[in-house]
Amino acid sequence: MRPEQWDIFKRAARLEKLDKVPMAMIVDSPWIPGHLGVKHMDFYLDPEVWFQSHLKIHQEFPDVIWVPGWWMEYGMAAEPSALGSKIKFWTDNTPSEYHTLFHIEDIDKFPEYEVENDAFMAMTLHRIRMQKQRVFDAGYIMPFVTSRGPMCTAGFVRGTTDLMIDLVEKPEWAHKLLDLSTRLIIDWLKAQHKAIGNCVEGIFILDDIVGFVNEDHYMEFCHPYLKRICDAFPKDWVKLYHNDAEVQACLDHLPDVGFNVLNWGKQTDYAEVKDRVGDRMCLMGNVNPLEVGVRGTPEEVREATLDVLEKSAGEGVILSVGGGTSPGMPKRNIEAMLAALAEFNGGRSKA
Question: What percentage of the chain's residues is helix, strand, coil (to nearest 5)?
Answer: 50, 15, 35
Alpha carbon of 299 to those of 292, 306, 340: distances in Å? 10, 11, 9
The band of 348, judged by pLDDT with boundaries at 50, 70 and 90, is confident
Percent of the chain at pLDDT > 90 equals 98
pLDDT at 225: 98
Strands 144-148 and 93-98: unpaired
Asked if residue 349 has pLDDT above 70, the reply is: no
pLDDT given for residue 321 in this prediction: 98
Quote the crossing angle between the two packed helices 160-169 and 171-196, to the nearest 10°.
130
The domain spanning residue 55 has which CATH number? Answer: 3.20.20.210
Number of independent structural domains in the chain: 1
Q: Give pLDDT, residue 351.
A: 60
> Domain limits at 315?
3-350
Cβ neighbour number for residue 200 with a 10 Å cutoff: 21
The residue with greater pLDDT, 284 or 351, is 284
Compute φ and ψ for 329, nearest 5 degrees: -65, 120
* CA atoms 63, 64, 69, 71: torsion sign: negative
- Confidence check: pLDDT of 163 > 80: yes
In single-letter form, the type of residue at position 265 comes to G
Three-state secondary-structure class, residue 113:
coil
pLDDT at residue 154 in the model? 98
Q: How confident is the model at residue 113 (pLDDT cuts 50, 70, 90)?
A: very high
Give 212-265 pLDDT, tens digit per residue: 999 999 999 999 999 999 999 999 999 999 999 999 999 999 999 999 999 999
CA distance 117 to 305: 44
Mean pLDDT value across the chain: 97
Q: CA angle, corner 220, sides to 102 and 242, nearest 5?
A: 80
Peptide bond into 68 cis (omega under 30): yes
pLDDT category at 278 given cuts 50, 70, 90 is: confident
pTM above 0.85, yes or no: yes
pLDDT of residue 266: 95
